[in-house]
Amino acid sequence: MVEQLYTHGVWIVKPGLEDEFVRRWRDLASWTLSAFPSARGTLLQDSDDPRRFHSFGPWESQEQIEEWRGSQGFQDRVGKLRETLEHFEPRMMRLIFDSGAR
């Protein structure tokens, strides 16, 4: 079985900048899809703490994640995202179980 890797981020946004954060995150996601067509991303907002967001998405390989994170397009867009943030915690995770997998 091929190991399925995901990127995961926890984003804590400065008060009042939630909409701007979402706009900039969408820009990152759109650029990512154009540069890495197999990539997918999901952004979730915490219902109890609207300043807390989680993002995640599957990747083909660790090398692809490293290429993405090392690219100028990623660096530029994450730099703009950081302007809206109090805290950011990026992670690379591996899938252990998916109840929807067949």
Residue ranges and CATH numbers for the domains of the chain are 5-94 (3.30.70.100)
**DSSP assignments along 51-63, one per residue:** TEEEEEEEES-HH
Task: Quickly state the pLDDT bin for 91 (edges 50, 70, 90).
Answer: very high
Least confident of 9-13, 26-30, 63-67, 95-99: 95-99
Which stretch of DSSP H or E encloses residue 45? strand 42-45
8 Å CB contact between 57 and 7: yes
Farthest-apart Cα atoms in the chain, separation = 44
What does the pLDDT look like over 34-64, one tens digit per residue? 999 999 999 999 999 999 999 999 999 999 9
Candidates 24, 31, 17, 13; CA nearest to 89 is 13
Question: Which 8-state DSSP code applies to residue 99?
Answer: T
Nearest 5°: CA angle at 62, between 61 and 65? 95
